[in-house]
Structure 1
Amino acid sequence: MRIDIITVLPELLKSPFEASILKRAIEKGLVEVHMHNLRDYTDKSYNQVDDYQFGGGAGMVLMIEPIDKCISALKAERDYDEIIYMTPDGETLNQKTANTLSLVENIIILCGHYKGVDQRVRDAFITKEISIGDYVLSGGELAAAIVCDSVIRLIPGVLSNETSALTDTFQDNLLAPPVYTRPSEYKGLKVPEVLLSGNFPKIEEWRENEAYNRTKRLRPDLLKDQ
């Protein structure tokens, strides 16, 4: 998979890809992540990429021309499955979206900034708009990093145990069941006996029941479609 991220603040995006699972995925050659500074695609003075909005109002808007130049340059080199715009009014990111994106080959992620982007960018170039929640950030960079993390960890070979991702919270619209590790008893707090029994069918049944009951208690909205 190749991910191209268009941003006015590439330095804000570097650290998530220089540690942990994302770094190992890149080093293994399972994913390529490239940052593109939007300021490299403008011929305006002082590398300007934003301007005042027509009609007045507070906040600057990213201009269409540098975005067009950047996206066009990338598309001239390869085909893209999705061109994603990070925006608070997009479709809320969920596990289903992450699963779908983990199966594609090439994506572009455009990070919004200031008041957003010229609407013509969204109309002409964007194929998918994603939000990470009902709140506003200073820009789309941190949101883009979250999308990348949620997607890259699902690529086969990224996690040392590939079945781990299949039992994560939100897979199958359920929260994950409780998990325990050593010691089996700590200050009177005990691990459920079934987990120590070695009876794996019973353990699996317990986990399924706990996942359902936890979801029913904490996130009943997830069970509406079941």
Structure 2
Amino acid sequence: MDFSDWTSLVAAISAAIAAIASCISVFLTNQREKNNKKPIVVPGMKIFDVEIRNLLSDWGENKEIPKKFSNTTLPICNHGNTPAFNIRYSFELESKLDQIQDEGFMQGGRYLIELKESQLYVFIKEGEYFKSEVRDVHSYTRTLDEVAPLSKTGIFIPDYYLILINYYFFNSLNKSFLSSKNKPHSLILKIMYDDINFSTWVQEFKIYIPPISKFNGHNLEARIEYKKSSKRKKVKS
């Protein structure tokens, strides 16, 4: 093989490599554009400065926590460039608790809280009598029609979680309670949604309160944060 043949061969190989590189570049560009068109729905952080009168105080409104879902909201944000449709979300406690039972002091009264068989029993002493409440600890699903691109909306936190968090903060006034390394309970948030191509996506997040909150027995300063618990996955149809 003479020099001209080698030159032709090298030129042909170089052309082939350039063609392959061009194809890869086009493929990666298409994939990037395709990913940029997908909605990306994640929760957001929220700061609270609220008054807590008793275990049933709602952080979202100056009312008693309604059943199933409170009026306290957590933001969810769509960081994608296309809308997310048919959003379905649900919460469940991160750790399964067989039973919680304790007593504490609360603005001159007493309360008792107990969790058995997926039901939360709350007893609050009002004068000479106890007011009782029973709340179900289930993973209810709620829906939203749409979250527009680069926007956010609110989702409602379950009632039992706020009750458990209120219970934690009232007990946090007791130093022995904190010294036993008790922490606020965490939630697992599951979000499912559809994109413009009718593909369904799902992802889970840990919702928690970091240990920087301040509570003086009446006023609470706290924030709710999140961590990814799983990667975003496409649901097979």
When the two structures are superposed, what TM-score results if normalisation uses the length of structure 2? 0.22
When the two structures are superposed, what TM-score results if normalisation uses the length of structure 1? 0.22
Asked which structure has the greater CA Rg, the reply is 2
